[in-house]
Amino acid sequence: MSVLENIKESILASNSIVILTHENPDGDAVGSSLAMMLALKKIGKKVDVVIPSLNKMYDILPGYEDIKKYAEENDNYDLCIALDSADLERLHSCKEVFEKAENTIVIDHHITNQNFGDVNYVNAAASSTCQNLVVVIGYLDIAISKDIAMCLYTGILTDTGGFRYNVQIETFEIAAMLLETGIDIAKIYRNFFDLTTMARTKVLGKALDRLELLSNGKVAFTYITKEDEEKYDLMDGDHEGIVNYGRDIENVEVSIFVRQIDEKYKVSMRSNEYLDVSLIASKYGGGGHMKAAGLTSNMSFDLLKQTLVAEIEKQLK
């Protein structure tokens, strides 16, 4: 049986389904979760989406109000579907929900995916998990409504940085098909790329103030501290995009952005042309894509900075 047949059989045999995604969820994570929920509700399934913490910028997406913060204590799900998550650890506090479910499906587009489900649909050649989901929803014979299309388009738009990176011919074909449902693409673009808050703008200012160039100007580095987080009362997702400012400086190949979470550091890395940041992230317990990767580390701030810069220098031309 093909993977898609396995997915169909597993979904049709289940009544109670839970959908999970990675922590610090981005547009592809939230978009794919809501699109899957809306699609499965159309065929009469009981579906929960559990996301413990997410930015309120996602409130324009259909189904947002139905997102649960926690799985109910006594909810026993027949099936758990993990979306946009390369490994079990990425599910973070929802890991147990996944482990408790009778059957599991993983749908993703990360090259570093560990195939940790009973059935795994991992196509790393796709721009986004949402792009892969179009294929899955199509195979299930579920029509893509305007609401589902809005969620899917959001994931594709945000994961490709506005149709810039990792775009295939199918990405535009699928976008055209989604546009046919009548979605307002200008509204979606403004919501996820332009619209901001005072807190986000202030913290960006802090990060820009600290931005420095290392390794002969090839590496840009900046960070925000726990004190900044508290001062500006930041939410998950409020840091998205800060790493791009360093990457956009002329001659920079890699941009690093570090944020402090409790006693740990969460690192975001972006490269411009040739350097594979996913190799560095994977080496220190993280993962991602060639030009966008991340990790969480227990190292001290100084050692972490030194280690990352040394790893990058090994690859610099």
Q: Select from Mn ion, ligand 5GP, none the partner in contact with residue 63, using the beta carbon and a kind-dependent cut-off of 5 to 8 Å.
A: none
CA–CA gap between residue 97 and residue 1 (Å, rounded)? 27
28 near Mn ion, rule: CB under 5 A? yes
Contact (CB, 8 A) for 22 and 85: yes
Q: Select from ligand 5GP, Mn ion, none the partner in contact with residue 238, using the beta carbon and a kind-dependent cut-off of 5 to 8 Å.
A: none
Inter-helix orientation angle 3-12/129-139, to 10°: 70
- In order of 219, 233, 308, the CA distances from 53 in angstroms are 31, 14, 28
294 near ligand 5GP, rule: CB under 6 A? yes
- 40 CB-near residues (< 8 Å, 6+ apart): 11, 17, 47, 142
User: How many residues sit close enough to Mn ion to count as binding (CB under 5 A)?
Assistant: 5
CA–CA gap between residue 170 and residue 287 (Å, rounded)? 25
112 near ligand 5GP, rule: CB under 6 A? yes
CA–CA gap between residue 218 and residue 299 (Å, rounded)? 23
- The alpha carbon of residue 230 and the mean position of all alpha carbons in its chain are separated, in whole angstroms, by 24
Q: Select from Mn ion, ligand 5GP, none the partner in contact with residue 228, using the beta carbon and a kind-dependent cut-off of 5 to 8 Å.
A: none
Binding mask of the shown chain, residues 150 to 179, with x at each position contacting Mn ion by CB under 5 A: ---------x--------------------
Binding mask of the shown chain, residues 69 to 108, with x at each position contacting Mn ion by CB under 5 A: ---------------x------------------------
* Structure tokens, 119: 């059935």
280 near ligand 5GP, rule: CB under 6 A? no
296 near ligand 5GP, rule: CB under 6 A? yes
238 near Mn ion, rule: CB under 5 A? no
Q: Which one of 30, 292, 304, 312 is in contact with ligand 5GP (CB under 6 A)?
A: 292
Which residues from 251-270 bind ligand 5GP, rule CB under 6 A? 268
Contact (CB, 8 A) for 99 and 78: no
Q: How far is the CB of 262 from Mn ion (least distance, A)?
A: 25
CA–CA gap between residue 24 and residue 34 (Å, rounded)? 16
Q: Which one of 19, 32, 90, 175 is in contact with ligand 5GP (CB under 6 A)?
A: 90
User: How many residues sit close enough to ligand 5GP to count as binding (CB under 6 A)?
Assistant: 14
86 near ligand 5GP, rule: CB under 6 A? yes
* Structure tokens, 153: 């388009």
Stretch that binds ligand 5GP, among 68-76, 84-92, 140-148, 176-184 (CB under 6 A): 84-92
Inter-helix orientation angle 146-159/169-179, to 10°: 150
- Pick from 46, 306, 289, 246: nearest CA to 297: 306
Strand 287-288 relative to strand 264-271, pairing: unpaired
Binding site for ligand 5GP (CB under 6 A): 86-87, 90, 112, 268, 286-289, 292-296
Binding site for Mn ion (CB under 5 A): 28, 84, 128-129, 159
